[in-house]
Structure 1
Amino acid sequence: MRKIKLGTSTLEVPVVAVGCMRIKSLDKREAERFVQAALEEGANFFDHADIYGGGICEEIFADAIQMNASVRESMILQSKCGIRKGMFDFSKEHILSSVDGILKRLRTDYLDVLLLHRPDTLVEPEEVADAFDRLASSGKVRHFGVSNQNPMQIQLLQKYVTQPIVANQLQLSITNATMISSGINVNMQNGSAVNRDGGVLDFCRLHDITIQPWSPFQYGFFEGVFLGNDKFPELNKQIDEIAAKHGVSNTTIAIAWLLRHPARMQPVTGTMNIDRLKDCCKASEVTLSREDWYAIYRAAGNVLP
């Protein structure tokens, strides 16, 4: 598996991250096989969140990997906090207590990466800074990032937080690519020119923040996958033709499309199917041509100005 540096850190991570939101759907034996298969593929970066399964997903993962000190050193663990029932919470108390809960459920002494999950409009960045300092000095968290945040929200945090923001997890796929299309349609009188995120793609590139695309196969919010979907005949035809040319699956091409972008992204998979995960990992070995990248972009309904 090809690797990249996560943000400005020295942490080398595989270009494909394994999302564990759905691991609750597997029984113990299936979970063990899935995690082992990921490790065999070199996909040793596992993404969690304290709200996935109400915390159960982290417990299932720890059981599946039979967590111990030696096993822990073979992987990179990331989790997220900040979402509570009916609200978002970036208070110092909630961040600290959330991390303690995450560590207990994952049966580890530290997280490689902690992300703040969804923007809290009541955030007091001084409290976040205090929480991050405590977590860093205690060794409980080694690197910090955010999720679903725009440039101004990140800059507000960085005014107070001394640790670098190394990652920003954002919804991005071939069919959910407004952060790309708004940059292509600058100064145009069309919907694609609407800047919905403050230029977050270019901001992250400028500041060496790794973008982690979540739901890389979804269209809409969680309306379904576009691969093999009758709603996207032109897109699937184009992806299938390019997949055949490379001798890989359509799943591989969908991830390769994200990896082709020079922002050096790290897509987060969501599948619990081992064969599909392997297809995702194969994208590390595929480099799409400029012509093929744009052909897929246009086939998704995006019009070049």
Structure 2
Amino acid sequence: MRKLKLGKSDLEVGAISLGCMRMGELPIRDASEVLANALENGVDLFDHADIYGKGESESVFAQALNLNEDGRESIKIQTKCGIRKGFFDFSKEHILASVEGSLKRLNTDYIDSLLLHRPDVLIEPEEVAEAFAVLKESGKVRFFGVSNQNPMQMELLNKYLGDEHLMINQLQLSLVHTPMIDAGFNVNMQNDPSINRDGHVLDYCRLNDITVQAWSPFQHGMIEGPFVGNDSFPEVNKKLQELAEKYEVTDSAIAIAWILRHPANIQPVVGTMNTQRLTDITKAFDITLSRQEWYELYRSAGNNLP
């Protein structure tokens, strides 16, 4: 599998990561098979959050992996914090407590990357900087990032973080959810896609060497379900199938190849717990879509070029 470095760090990972949100629903034996299969296919970054399965996903992951000290260096563990029941919380107290809980559930001494989950508009960046400093100095977290934040929110944090600048921004992106791309086509236009909804977050991340991780790469809406194989999306599925036949892979692999083709080195976060599906998806690394094919897929998803 192709490798990439997260942000400006020296942390090298496979270009696809495995999202472990649903892992808490699996028996330990099944979870072990999922993880072994991921590693065999070059997927070595595992994405968690303290809220996934109310912590059960992290616990099942640890039991299924059963790492020894030597094996820990061969994988990268990422988790997120900040979402609480009915509110968001980026206070120093909550960040530190959340990390302690994740470390215990994950049965590890350190987390490779910690992301702040949904934005907390009551954020006090000085507090976040203090929490990150404690975690870095204690060796409990190596690198830091955010999820679902716009450029000014990241700028505000970076003002106080000093050398611990943000490495990652996890953002929703799929063939049928492309707001971070649309406005870049529709410059100086008066149509709906020209509306800048996120402060040109993709360009900002590229300019500042912040790795974009694409969550829900097969989803439409926010939690509505997959668009791949969905009869409600006939045109994009027709094109996916056409290219899947050409490249002798699955339609899901083509959907991931479309993301990987973007020069921003975006890392898709794939949440499947099906071993064969993940194996099939990783064949996306053998494909480099042509510029014409990339645009054809974009248009098939209902997007018009100016």
Q: Please give the range of the TM-score, normalised by the shorter of the 2 chains.
A: over 0.9
Q: Measure, in 1, the Cα distance between the counterparts of 2:152 and 2:165.
A: 15
What is the aligned partner in structure 2 of residue 106 from structure 1? 106
Q: Which runs of 5+ in 2 are unaligned?
A: none
Deviation at 1:67, TM superposition (A): 2.6
Deviation at 1:42, TM superposition (A): 1.1
Please tell me whether residue 60 in structure 1 is matched to residue 60 in structure 2: yes
What is the aligned partner in structure 2 of residue 277 from structure 1? 278
Q: Measure, in 2, the Cα distance between the counterparts of 1:127 and 1:68.
A: 34
Q: Measure, in 1, the Cα distance between the counterparts of 2:69 and 2:187.
A: 51
Deviation per CA, 1:94-134: give whole Å up to 9, x if none. Answer: 00111010000000000000000110000000000000011
Q: Measure, in 1, the Cα distance between the counterparts of 2:80 and 2:283.
A: 27
Q: Measure, in 2, the Cα distance between the counterparts of 1:172 and 1:98.
A: 27
Q: Which runs of 5+ in 1 are unaligned?
A: none
Taking only aligned residues, the RMSD between alpha carbons, in angstroms, comes to 0.7
Q: Could you tell me the TM-score, scaled by structure 2's length? A: 0.98
Deviation per CA, 1:63-92: give whole Å up to 9, x if none. Answer: 000132122121000000011101100000
Please state whether the residue corresponding to 1:165 is helix, strand or coil.
coil
Q: Measure, in 2, the Cα distance between the counterparts of 1:73 and 1:85.
A: 34
What one-letter code is carried by the residue in structure 2 that aligns with 1:267?
A: P
Q: Could you tell me the TM-score, scaled by structure 1's length? A: 0.99
Please state whether the residue corresponding to 2:167 is helix, strand or coil.
strand
Deviation at 1:282, TM superposition (A): 1.4
Deviation at 1:29, TM superposition (A): 1.0
Alignment of 1:205-244 (within 5 A): 205-244=206-245
Deviation per CA, 1:195-233: give whole Å up to 9, x if none. Answer: 111100100000010000000000011111111111111
Aligned length: 305
Asked if the contact 1:8/1:164 (under 8 Å) is kept, the reply is no
Deviation at 1:17, TM superposition (A): 0.4
Q: Measure, in 1, the Cα distance between the counterparts of 2:113 and 2:147.
A: 12
Q: Measure, in 1, the Cα distance between the counterparts of 2:225 and 2:76.
A: 29
What one-letter code is carried by the residue in structure 2 that aligns with 1:85?
A: K
Q: Measure, in 2, the Cα distance between the counterparts of 1:250 and 1:290.
A: 18
Deviation per CA, 1:246-304: give whole Å up to 9, x if none. Answer: 11110100001000000100000011011111122111221110000000000000000
Please tell me whether residue 171 in structure 1 is matched to residue 178 in structure 2: no
Asked if the contact 1:91/1:128 (under 8 Å) is kept, the reply is yes
Q: Measure, in 2, the Cα distance between the counterparts of 1:36 and 1:260.
A: 27
Deviation at 1:28, TM superposition (A): 1.3
Asked if the contact 1:129/1:161 (under 8 Å) is kept, the reply is yes
Q: Measure, in 2, the Cα distance between the counterparts of 1:79 and 1:187.
A: 39
Q: Measure, in 2, the Cα distance between the counterparts of 1:282 and 1:164.
A: 33
Q: Measure, in 2, the Cα distance between the counterparts of 1:186 and 1:105.
A: 47
What is the aligned partner in structure 1 of residue 146 from structure 2? 146
What one-letter code is carried by the residue in structure 2 that aligns with 1:265?
A: I
Please tell me whether residue 95 in structure 1 is matched to residue 95 in structure 2: yes
Please tell me whether residue 42 in structure 1 is matched to residue 26 in structure 2: no
What is the aligned partner in structure 2 of residue 4 from structure 1? 4
Alignment of 1:257-276 (within 5 A): 257-276=258-277
What is the aligned partner in structure 2 of residue 299 from structure 1? 300
Asked if the contact 1:65/1:71 (under 8 Å) is kept, the reply is no
- Percent identical: 61
Q: Measure, in 1, the Cα distance between the counterparts of 2:223 and 2:285.
A: 25
Q: Measure, in 1, the Cα distance between the counterparts of 2:252 and 2:94.
A: 38
What is the aligned partner in structure 2 of residue 246 from structure 1? 247
Please state whether the residue corresponding to 1:34 is helix, strand or coil.
helix
Of residues 63-72 and 224-233 in structure 1, the stretch that sits farther from structure 2 once superposed is 63-72
